[in-house]
Every structure is written in C-alpha cells, then in structure tokens.
Structure 1
Amino acid sequence: MTGKLIDDCFVLDKDRLPHHEAIAILKARVHPVTGIEQVPLADAAGRFLAEAVVAPRLIPAHDNAAVDGYAFAASDYAAETGASLRIAGEAAAGHPYGGAVQGGSAVRIFTGAVMPAGLDTVAMQEDVRIEERDGARWAHISPGLKPGANRRLAGEDTKAGETLIAPGVRLRPQDVASAAATGLGALCCHAPLKVAVFSTGDEILRPGEPFAEGKVYDANAPMLHGLIAAAGMETIDLGVLSDTRERVVAALEAASGQFHAIVISGGASQGKEDHVVQSIDALGKRHLWQIAIKPGRPMSFGQIGDCVVLGLPGNPVAVFVCFVMYVRPVLTRLAGGAWPEPVRFSVPAAFSQQKKVGRREFWRARLVREDGRLLAAKFPRDGSGLISSLREADGLIEVHEDVQEIREGDLVDFIPFSAFGLD
C-alpha cells in the first residue's frame, strides 16, 4: 500500500454535522492511497487514470474520405452542372494513392482512405455514373455538392497536444478507444483499491443459513459488495462481527493492516452493544460521526493507521443512501478518482410532503410521465428497512435543511441511480 492519510484528531464541536460540512470534512481528509501501474488497454476500462492522456499528433492524422466514392478538386467541379472527370487511379484505407493527380481528374476512393494531394471533395459512389471512353474511365458527378463534401479533416477529432483524458477519470470503453487512437498500448492507472466489508450484530444470519426466530438475514453485505464493485474497487466480505467490543476491535485491527478501507454496517449508534465508534476511537482517529440527515444519521468516518474506516447504520435503505452520497465518493477519491459530484435534475414533484427543518433528507422516488410531463413520484413509506423501496425507486429526491414542505408541482432535486451506474 502507498500514500499516507492525515491522522490528526478532528475536534467535533457539533452533535450532528450538516450535510455540507460532512462533505467538506470528507473531501479535505481523503486522497489517493494506492500505487500506480501500467495497464494494457484491454484491461483498462473501469480503472482510474493516474496520468493524463495527451494526443501526440493530429487525430485523424490526414484528411480522409468519409464515404466510398470519388475524390476530386472542387475547382474542377460546378455545383450547378456537375462534372465529368477522368479516373486517375484508386485509394483505399491503408493504401494511399501514389503521385500527383492532374487537373480534371478524379480518384476512386474508399472510406477512411487518405485524400490524395490536391483533392478536397468526395462524391458518394451512388451519385456517380461511370463511362468508358477513349480507352479511359470517366466519372460523371452529379450537381449539388459543396466544396469539402464527404471529407474528414486532419485533426477534426483532436489537436496535437490536446489532453484527451484527465487524471482521476474512471475509464469508460469510449475513453479507452480515445487513448487507443493516440497509439498508446497501455495506460498509467491507479492500482485497485482494496475494501473489506463487515456486518455486525448477534441477530444477523448469513443468506443460506436456516432461519431462526429473532434473527434477520444480512442484506447489507451483498448489497455493499455490489455497490463497491460497481464503483470500481475490489471488495471482500469478512463476515459478521458479534456484539462484543473485543471481537470488533480485534477484527478492525487485523483488517486495517490488509486493506485500504473498511466498510461496516450496523453497530454505529450509541447503544451498549454498538461498538464500532468506540473501536475506531480505541485503535485510531475518528473524524466524523452523526450527520444531520435522514436516513443515515449515525454514519461515522475515521482511520486506523492509513486504513479508512466507514461505519454505516444497520438498516438497508440508510446503508444504501450513505453509500451513494458519502462512501462512494470517499472510496473513489482513495482509489485515485476525482471526487464525484452527484448528478441532480430539477423535476416537478408529483406529491406533497412535510419535513422537519434542520436536516437534509433523501427520499426514494421514481420518475413518472403524466400529461407529457416528467414528474418525481415519492415512495409512499419512509421506513429505512424497506428494501422494496430501493428496488422500486430509480433515484433519490434530495431535500435541503431549510425546506419544511414540498408541494405538488414544486421543483425538487432528483438524483438518478443511473448517475452511480446502478440503473
């Protein structure tokens, strides 16, 4: 592992931090911690770029034909009447026409072929009539073409020296294609971030185990595994921690030496069996606890050595909301990515709802179309244990601290799950 985190203790002077202050703390205290390695293009999609990709030359490097047809000089052509031009030869992709083209001549050309010197326009082959005359082939080109038609200009995609992809970008297939167009065979990327996942609680059963009264199946660990993988990190599920301080402390201490980050669900509150926060304090430093949000208030953020520890509530909806709004950006930054700001759209509300002032709330919602308008429809129940609400929603409505009521027709901030790659 590489990189060092700030480990000075952060003094918490508020019972519950506002959302914007929590984000500011997280932004200020995390930075890339993984090593850097060369990654072949075939394996680069999904990785976080460490060094900018800069175009070494024009892309495309030459003027070339956009269609199959016949290349000619616009000066030999009249848009009102067309032209008859002697066919001087042929140019194909990878096989340029050799030599100079005399005035009054055309060259048979195929898509992607370099434009012969002196020629600047291409007629599509279906707009050209070919005739044999006097031992030569002639192209009769229809009228109506503009100079430069069907020609791609050198550098029209990218100029030499232009930055194509900036550091911190999580590479998409289209980014990899852009890098490939420069001739690069590998990219300088951050090594994968390694994340451990724990669940906590004596009441937790692992999926597949026999059901028992008073127990609940662990929905959080599989969900977190999928969320972390979708964000581009490597994750391993380290199981369920029993409700004993010794067990939690021992597990966190062992994992902190092997992983860049630990994500824990449950045990984040102030009950006598909630040991996560106290264990972070015992082993390292805590920088954040208790956020003025709903759901997800008891989220914690700290570190043990250079391992970031993120404690989440136990209810699945709160886990999901805290992950996409706080944990995912932290992990992305640790992994070498730029801090991802959520995409928000202003959409009219299809409902009315009152809210407590002083906290930021995230309501599960889906987009509906009524009378040709796109509206945000809130899930009717607010319980943070309702996994069905996550399944039926396609985004979150973010409601700021000073808002007391949303009325039908008011514009609300809608954050689509697709912004997190979760559509």
Structure 2
Amino acid sequence: MHSLETMLDLLRQQPLPPPRLEMAPLHRLPGRVSAQTVRAGHDLPAFDASAMDGYAIAATPERPLGPYTLMGCVAAGAPDGGVLEPGQAMRVLTGAPLPRGCHGVVAQEHARLEADGVVLAAPLCYGAHMRLRGSELMRGERLVAEGERLKALHIGLLAAQGLSALQVYARPRVGVLSTGDELRAPGETLAPGQIYDANRPQLLALLDSVGAEAVDLGSVADDPAATRARLREATEVCDLILSSGGASVGDADHIRDAVDALGSISHWQVAIKPGKPFAFGHVLGRPFVALPGNPVAAAITFLLLARPLVRRAGGEAVAPQEAVAYPLLDAADNPGPRRHFLRGRFVDLDGVRHVEPFEQQGSAALATLASAEVLLELPAQARLAAGNRVRCHPLTTLGLR
C-alpha cells in the first residue's frame, strides 16, 4: 500500500501520450491549455498616450498655472500627437497620442479655457495621466506560458497584441466506466437490491470541470468477458480511462483481472480513507485509473489523484497541490491506520476562520459531499484538540464550488 505522496509521485512519473494540437479563436480560449509560449510582439502601450480627457501641458516654471497657448486637439486614433514648446498646451482625449515635449496631462475638470489660453487650477504634476510606451509591457515579455490554462481575462491582453487565435492542446478524451450488477442508470426503474449509478454522472461532470472531453462508456455488469470487451472498446476512443468499482478484493470485482488480461496494474492501494482501493495501470497502452466504487471515495480519489493526471494529459503544467492549515473548531480523532479525509465547512469564530468536519463521514454519504466546502486531513492514529491546526484542501482550489 502506498502513501498518498508516493502515489502522487508515481503518477507524476508516468509517461502520457502527447496531447494533440489545435487552433482556437480568442473567444474559445478560456479553460484551454496553451501549447505555446506567447511573448509580446510590441510594446504596450505602443506609444505615449493620454490616460484621460484633458490638456497636455509643456510646463514653464515662471508661470506654472498658465495661461498656456492652446495649439489644437488630438483624438484617439490620430497618427501623431504633434509637438509642444514650453508654455503651450494641447487638448487631448483619452487614448490619444501625446505630443512630444509634454510634461503631463491635466484633467479637463482641473483646468479652464480662457481667451488667452488654458489656465490650471493647480501646478502641473509632472508625468500625471501619461501612459508611456512600454509602461505595461515591453516587447518580448512573456504573456502566456506553454502549459498554462487560459482565463477569460487573458483574452483582452492577447487581443491587444493583435492575436486572433492561439495554438492549444486538444482536450484529453477521458472515458468513464462504471461496474456492478446492482447499478442502473438514473431515470430507470429500480428492482429490489439495485441502486442508481451516481459515480458515472459525477465523474463525467468532474472531468468537464477540469477541461477534459468526458466520454461516457456506460456501465458493465460484474462479468469478466464483458468487462474486458468494454475496456478494449474504450482504448479505441479514449486517451485515458477511468473506472469506478470493481477494484477491491471481492469475488465480483473483475476490473483487476480484466486489466491484467489486456495490460497491467502497476500501482494499487493508497493509505487514505476513504479511497484505499485506488489503482493505476495500462490497458492496451492506454493509461487506466480504477477508482473506488463508493461515491464519496470515488470523488475524493479523483480530486486528489486522478485530477492532476487528467490535467497533465491535457498538456497542462501541474504544480503539486498545496494544503492550507486551519484550526479545528472542535476536537477530532482518527484512531485508524490511514490518513482520513473529512468533508467539512468553514466557520468564523472571533474573526478567525476555523474548519468543522461534518458528523456524517460515510464513504457513500453524498449529501455531505455536495455541501462540503473543504477536505480536512486527519493524520493516522491522531487525537486533535480544538484549535489544533490541520491540513485542509478548500474545494475552490480543486476547481469546485
């Protein structure tokens, strides 16, 4: 059995098929992973520009308030701002090129135009309201790194550089397969002893949230031949395959035998609760992850272990997930031999953020998973008092909530 850190290291070392490349227009880039390092092709701003409507001033120390002779007006889009000599002013609009010789811009509400020129309400603040060339970005500066997941707020920056599209990595095609005689799809009628398949819809949604192209492989009964056939079909359409259930040690758990017939399981079992029966291997050369059958265990092992692997399969540069320490609201115990991940919520007490685990922590308790704000780590065989700090994973940092 592996520790969580060892399993993460083993997964990071696994070679993955190189992601495919495609071009995407700017408005389709949010959530995609850049396949290239993008550098500024020109300075931003590309010229000295006015930051507001007002007057560009070439100041004179002997009469700081003016009047300054008005030489004309420059609007945004003008090819040139002209030239000012000391004692002169130019009316400028926001975004207009500044005249050479300008010492600063005075907002129009802080100046008045009189018959003999522009008079200032106060002496000019040198450099005021001037957007100087290259003050935001210099030509050659990096805008986006290869392997970086793009956000909506990248788009304006890329557009300002004249880019209309970007080369990105194709979304990895990740298949999801459920196993078990007892499973029925949501919407079907249940017979006695049957349950709805909660894992497959949940995992498909989690894959979508991480930027993968989720492929629904359906569910398969606890039958070795049927399981092998479904896995073989999955390798023809998927870059990576996830299954839930069938990877424990029960007589009806056929996933491991099916994978061994078509490839191999290289790493099995993690010393965490819930989530011990996690496995990684290959099926006909395709990376394969077996998640536990209990819904909470499947979700937690996906978030902690499978999610970084899926992101890497899509070309993303993935840094190790860092936990954050918060104090416990109440005492908590973990008498077991495995690290326990508890669902919980944040509680503010006297201005300090604390964490509180839910009372119900069963590995099939979906209600607490849906309302959780954070996963708390309790070390093995630990007794922690109220106020003790514990490692936590806010679900917002895992791409949820």
TM-score bin (small chain)? over 0.9
Tell whether the 8 Å contact from 1:89 to 1:97 is kept in structure 2 after alignment.
no
8 Å contact kept, 1:17–1:291: yes
SS at match of 2:68: strand
The count of residues paired between Structure 1 and Structure 2 equals: 401
Which residue identity is paired with 2:77? Answer: G
CA–CA separation in structure 1 for the residues paired with 2:298 and 2:144:
33
8 Å CA contact 2:81–2:97 kept in 1: the answer is no
Deviations 1:170-227 (A, max 9, x none): 1111123222222222111111211111111111111101122211111111111110
Determine whether 1:76 maps to 2:54.
no
Take 1:39 and 1:352, find their aligned partners in 2: how far apart are those partners?
Answer: 51
Aligned to 2:253: 274
Aligned equivalents of 1:350 and 1:252: distance in 2?
Answer: 46
Of 371, 375, 382, which aligns to 1:396? 375
Partner of 1:84: helix, strand, or coil? coil
Q: Offset at 1:399?
A: 3.4
Distance 1:29 1:264 in 2: 18
- Which runs of 5 or more residues in structure 1 are unaligned? 1-15
Structure 1 residues 329 and 309: alpha-carbon distance in aligned structure 2, compared to 1, 3 A threshold: same
Greater mean alpha carbon deviation, residues 102-111 or residues 143-152: 143-152
Residue 374 of structure 1 is matched in structure 2 by 353
Partner of 2:83: 100
2:389 aligned with 1:419: no
CA RMSD of aligned residues (A): 1.8
Q: For residues 254-269 of structure 1, what are the structure 2 equivalents within 5 Å?
A: 254-269=233-248
Taking a change above 3 Å as real, the CA distance of residues 149 and 407 of structure 1, as seen in their structure-2 partners, is: same
Matched, 1:344 2:344: no
Alpha-carbon distance in 1 for matches of 2:240, 2:335? 34
- Deviation, 1:148, is 0.7
The answer to whether residue 95 in structure 2 is matched with residue 112 in structure 1 is yes
Q: Show the 5 A alignment for 1:150-299.
A: 150-299=129-278
TM-score of the aligned structures, taking structure 1 as reference length: 0.90
**Which amino acid in 1 is paired with 2:108?**
Q
CA separation in 2, counterparts of 1:281 and 1:326?
21
Aligned 8 A contact 1:284 1:304 in 2: yes
Q: Which has the higher contact order (CA 8 A, sep 6+)?
A: 1
Q: In 2, Cα distance between the equivalents of 1:149 and 1:32?
A: 54
What is the rounded CA distance, in whole Å, between the counterparts of 1:106 and 1:241 in structure 2? Answer: 79
- 1:27 counterpart residue number: 12
Partner residue of 1:127? Answer: 110
1:211-253 deviation per Cα after TM superposition (whole angstroms, max 9, x unaligned): 2221111111111111000100111212111001111111001
Q: Percent identity, please.
A: 36
Which piece of structure 1 moves more, 358-367 or 384-393? 358-367
Number of the residue aligned with 1:3: none
Aligned partner of residue 148 in structure 1, secondary structure: coil
The verdict on how the C-alpha distance between 1:275 and 1:62 changes in structure 2, with shifts beyond 3 A counting, is same
Q: Residue deviations 1:43-99, cap 9 Å, x none?
A: 1211111110111221121222222111113x4368x96332122111222124453
**8 Å contact 1:30–1:334 — kept in the other structure?**
no
Structure 2 Cα separation of the partners of residues 122 and 406 of structure 1: 62
Residue 48, structure 1, aligned to residue 48, structure 2: no
| TM-score, with length taken from structure 2 | 0.95
Moved over 4 A (4+): none
State yes or no: 1:39 paired with 2:24.
yes
Q: Structure 1 residue 128: deviation in Å? A: 1.3
Moved more, 316-325 or 178-187: 178-187
